[in-house]
Structure 1
Amino acid sequence: MKKPEVSYVRNGDVSLAYQVVGSRSHDLLLVSGFVSNLEYAWEYPSLSRFLSGLAEMSRLILTDRRGSGLSDRFREAPPQETMLRDLEIVLDEVGSAKATLFGLWDGCETSILFAATHPERVSSLILFTASAAQKPAEDYPWAWSDEYWEEWLASIRDGWGTRAWVVKNARWMGPGMLDSPDELERWIAYTRLAASPSSAEAVMRNSSDTDIRGILPFVRTPTLVLHRVGDRIEPIEAGRYVAARMPDARLVELPGDDGIPWIGDTAAVLHEIRTFLGERVQHPSSDRRLATILFTDIVGSTQRAAMLGDAGWGELLGEHHRRVREELERFEGVEIDTAGDGFLVTFDGPARAVRCARAIGERVRDLGIEIRAGVHVGEIEHVAKDIRGIAVHIGARVASLAGPGEILVSSTVRDLVAGSGLTFEDAGEHELKGVPDRWRLYRVIG
């Protein structure tokens, strides 16, 4: 296949490289991990054949994520919500209203979050070597420990791109390449051209702090989970976990131990994808989606209203509302409701919601006002201009526990903002009135 042209689209001041290959009616967006380079991919024989196979069954959309390949580089990896916006911009640029997302490695997390946040844009999901978390938990014991992660990150910092490092790690990433000197040489070049040591470390450090276990039940998109049983990048238990917790997912366990789809039995991978796409599964229409919910209200509003009187309080409240709405516009929040002195707002990403809450607190402080705020990520349902769902109740309960000038967030928020620069301290476990279980909350401190 002739090497396709590379094009660029910008998200703000960041240029994102992309290609479109094939002319089938079904769009397939490959959401690769950070090991990606659009130019070299077509000079890498086994990868080129794999991409050509995908293009035969779809209009294949390829992109180098920011920080990788031909897209602009960085030293600090961005949070997931920025990556979601990048994908949205690429899809808009190529005129794709709805596509199948094919997540590969750490691109699986991004694909899952995109499908949960923008279900109307995703017809189906394909996940290869998927995982839901990178640190161990009671129901996820096979993930790497903090100590192992630090050793791994140090090895990336000191060895990424060197022949010795790549050969050593090929033994578990893609052992099949060790039997082919040419394949190994191509993989060495691909990793070097995909990312620098600092950007590779930054992406992997973000990945180590990301946990999407709580998001999986909200993804109703038809999903094919492909995982090789001997995979050493992510054990087969990770693929089974993801598939078991997604409502419309099917797991196919493939033979082999290569964590790279174009190495090993590539024909089996392409066959499963072709069969899945041929099923033409339809995602049932729904107004449910993943959203970040922000609640704010004024601390001590009743006493302040009594002290100022109706006219004075009305004037102060009007100025408060004006300033809050300016910040909502700046951070792309959607105002859902205003009850008295409080706001209910939704966002596409949790980092923006937290930053907006912090900005609101600063904007109204010179009015002699302190606010409290709570942020949660969960599934909501749009009903006319309102939203409903247990996530709304959780967000309200989180906000009610915050003190003056305080922003509290759920653990789901904390798990999704890796790379945002936000910092938190543990605020303990709490019972939320009317909500099952105990919830660990975190206080925003920077």
Structure 2
Amino acid sequence: MSDVRAVMDTVGCERATLVGYSEGGTMCALFAATYPERTAGLVMIGTYARAMWSADHPWGCRAEDFPQVVETIRREWGGPIGIDRRAPSLAHDATFSAWWARFLRMSASPTAALAFTEMMRDIDVRHVLATIGAPTLVLHAVGDQVIEAARGRYMAARIPNARFVELPSDDHLPWLSDSDIILDEIERFVATFEPLPEPDRLLVTVVVADLVPSARNGGGVDVERTRDRYHEAARLEIIRFRGRFLDAAGPTVLAAFDGPARAIRCASAIVDSARRLGIAAKAGLHTGECEIRPDGLTGAALEVARRVAAVAKDGEVVVSTTVKDLVAGSGLEFLARGEKADGDGTRGQPLFTIVSPATARG
């Protein structure tokens, strides 16, 4: 998302219609939810909200089949891997087959392809679909053998102001049989939707960082006298990780981030800063929709983050499932916990503790 925003800033584009294909559509959906003020419209082609099969998502690769996917990439990368499913209309065309193999080799090395596949396994943006306010067009080939058309319909049904268009071919690649239809639909889409008003809600990752009670801060440390230093250290980390400081009241510091990975790293840095001051802190994070007000942000996401922080132990950074699902490919590692957090439509989300060093700048 940062790359998209950087390009927009460089060319002076305040608001754009985003077009994403396959997992690129997933990223565009997350961008639209996180930066509504920069998103004029959203177009997704052959995309999905979650990569893996689950009981509440009956599509995608099953966990027991994923090792075979990885092994196929390791063994066959460099050849026309997957062409029969991605481009059935040209699967037996020798010229296209050679082009596809070269396209894959130029796109990624075998190691990068494996890393990318591992990252895709963790993708899940279902929680943010309802927060997308931009006009949305979802295009999906009816016979797509890579990502079932039902997954496109699933996304369109959960995004307000979304329209679903079924394409007639079996090709997953959008530049083949359906290309003219796709271009016509996009042209019609951008020419007809009404400009959006300035958004009054946005998707953020909330950090709640708490000093632990005085009784648990041993060694004769006067926590009351140290609190101001803790607040200042937390402010500096929030600035360093490009967050939005919300409040510092008593033992609690509140902040909001447009990037969940940076939010996790900032929370870890705040906990480390407290440790260097000779005291203990803990943090909880949740990603959700908040309302923009002149005096700051409000919304259920803040309350869920408070509940997540409440179950954290001294020195821990704990996140909700939503946060974990949104940082696929970040290199952050998590340990599942038994507790669950309710509220903001989470339906008892499992919680996870950060177990890898997470303070590197994101």
2:41 paired with 1:128: no
Report deviation, 1:434: 9.3
Name the aligned partner's letter for residue 134 of structure 1. Answer: A
Per-residue CA shift, 1:110-155, capped at 9, x if unaligned?
Answer: 1011111111111001100010111112221121012322211221
Report deviation, 1:240: 0.7
Q: 2 CA distance for matches of 1:169 and 1:319?
A: 57
2:264 paired with 1:354: yes
What is residue 98 of structure 2 aligned with on the other side?
A: 185
Q: 1 CA distance for matches of 2:197 and 2:214?
A: 44
Q: 2 CA distance for matches of 1:200 and 1:136?
A: 21
Match of 1:270 among 173, 183, 186: 183
What is residue 10 of structure 2 aligned with on the other side?
A: 93
What is residue 442 of structure 1 aligned with on the other side?
A: 352
What is residue 24 of structure 2 aligned with on the other side?
A: 107
The 5 Å alignment of 1:173-322 reads 173-301=86-214, 313-322=223-232
Q: 1 CA distance for matches of 2:196 and 2:344?
A: 32
SS at 2:19 equivalent? strand
- Whether the aligned pair in 2 keeps the contact of 1:124 and 1:283 (CA below 8 Å) is no
CA gap of 1:267–1:95, structure 2 versus 1, over 3 A, is same
CA gap of 1:442–1:205, structure 2 versus 1, over 3 A, is same
Match of 2:331 among 397, 421, 441: 421
Report deviation, 1:383: 0.6
CA gap of 1:353–1:431, structure 2 versus 1, over 3 A, is closer
- Whether the aligned pair in 1 keeps the contact of 2:203 and 2:287 (CA below 8 Å) is yes
What is residue 339 of structure 1 aligned with on the other side?
A: 249
Name the aligned partner's letter for residue 242 of structure 2. Answer: E
What is residue 41 of structure 1 aligned with on the other side?
A: none
- Whether the aligned pair in 2 keeps the contact of 1:227 and 1:253 (CA below 8 Å) is yes
- Whether the aligned pair in 2 keeps the contact of 1:410 and 1:442 (CA below 8 Å) is yes
What is residue 360 of structure 2 aligned with on the other side?
A: none
Per-residue CA shift, 1:187-221, capped at 9, x if unaligned?
Answer: 22222222211111111210111111111111111
Of the structure 1 ranges 326-335 and 432-441, higher mean CA displacement relative to structure 2 is found in 432-441
Q: 2 CA distance for matches of 1:304 and 1:200?
A: 47
Report deviation, 1:302: 7.5
2:50 paired with 1:137: no
Q: 2 CA distance for matches of 1:424 and 1:188?
A: 36
Report deviation, 1:304: 6.8
Per-residue CA shift, 1:11-42, capped at 9, x if unaligned?
Answer: xxxxxxxxxxxxxxxxxxxxxxxxxxxxxxxx
The 5 Å alignment of 1:6-155 reads 84-155=1-72
CA gap of 1:320–1:278, structure 2 versus 1, over 3 A, is same
Q: Name the TM-score, length of structure 2 as normaliser.
A: 0.92
Question: How many correspondences in the alignment?
Answer: 355
Name the aligned partner's letter for residue 373 of structure 1. Answer: A
Match of 1:325 among 235, 241, 255: 235
Q: 1 CA distance for matches of 2:329 and 2:93?
A: 37
Of the structure 1 ranges 184-193 and 396-405, higher mean CA displacement relative to structure 2 is found in 184-193
- Whether the aligned pair in 2 keeps the contact of 1:397 and 1:433 (CA below 8 Å) is no
Report deviation, 1:433: 7.5
Q: 2 CA distance for matches of 1:85 and 1:354?
A: 16
Per-residue CA shift, 1:266-314, capped at 9, x if unaligned?
Answer: 2211111111112133233222111110001111147879x87xxx655
2:319 paired with 1:409: yes
SS at 2:323 equivalent? helix
Match of 2:284 among 371, 374, 387: 374
Report deviation, 1:435: 7.4
Per-residue CA shift, 1:58-77, capped at 9, x if unaligned?
Answer: xxxxxxxxxxxxxxxxxxxx
Q: 2 CA distance for matches of 1:287 and 1:226?
A: 28
Report deviation, 1:366: 3.5
CA gap of 1:171–1:401, structure 2 versus 1, over 3 A, is same
Report deviation, 1:415: 0.8
Q: 2 CA distance for matches of 1:146 and 1:287?
A: 39
SS at 1:215 equivalent? helix
Per-residue CA shift, 1:418-444, capped at 9, x if unaligned?
Answer: 222221111124354797732211112
CA gap of 1:263–1:393, structure 2 versus 1, over 3 A, is same
Report deviation, 1:353: 1.4
Report deviation, 1:93: 1.3
Q: 2 CA distance for matches of 1:433 and 1:125?
A: 28
What is residue 157 of structure 1 aligned with on the other side?
A: 74
CA gap of 1:436–1:255, structure 2 versus 1, over 3 A, is closer
Report deviation, 1:181: 3.2
CA gap of 1:361–1:275, structure 2 versus 1, over 3 A, is same
